[in-house]
Amino acid sequence: MNQSVELLAETMKLLADRTRLTIIALLKEKEMCVCDIVDVLETTQPNVSQHLRKLKTGGLVKETRKSQWIYYALNVADKPYLNSILEELPSMKDKLGKLNPDCCK
């Protein structure tokens, strides 16, 4: 099987999960720490961390350490085939506006 088809299939499997697709939509707006994502999704930190780990392993997100916090951001510049999917994701700006500003300070 063509390696690019295999890679695309794995990426699509990752995005087929509602929680992971929501995380991608959030990260499309801005980089975020786990506690912010937990607040928006109203779920547990271990659940969000598991989904982020899968997205990172799949190459869709990257992490950056800022003091004791780890921030996550999209890592899709080398995946132009995702552009149309990203464009179709609903805006999460209203949800981000409700975040606790002191979460990761």
Complete domains list, the chain, with CATH: 3-88 (1.10.10.10)
CA distance 94 to 68: 27
Could you tell me the two tokens for 43?
């779920």
Q: Residue 73: its pLDDT value, please?
A: 97
Express as a percent the part of the chain with pLDDT over 70: 93
CA distance 59 to 27: 14
CA distance 93 to 50: 24
Alpha helices (runs of H) in the chain, residue ranges in sequence order = 3-15, 18-29, 34-41, 45-57, 83-88, 93-96
Express as a percent the part of the chain with pLDDT over 90: 71
What pTM, to 2 d.p., does this model score? 0.90
Check whether 100 has a pLDDT greater than 70.
Answer: yes
Q: Residue 29: its pLDDT value, please?
A: 94
Check whether 1 has a pLDDT greater than 60.
Answer: no
Work out the number of other CB atoms within 10 angstroms of the CB of residue 83.
10
Q: What is the mean pLDDT of residues 72-88?
A: 92
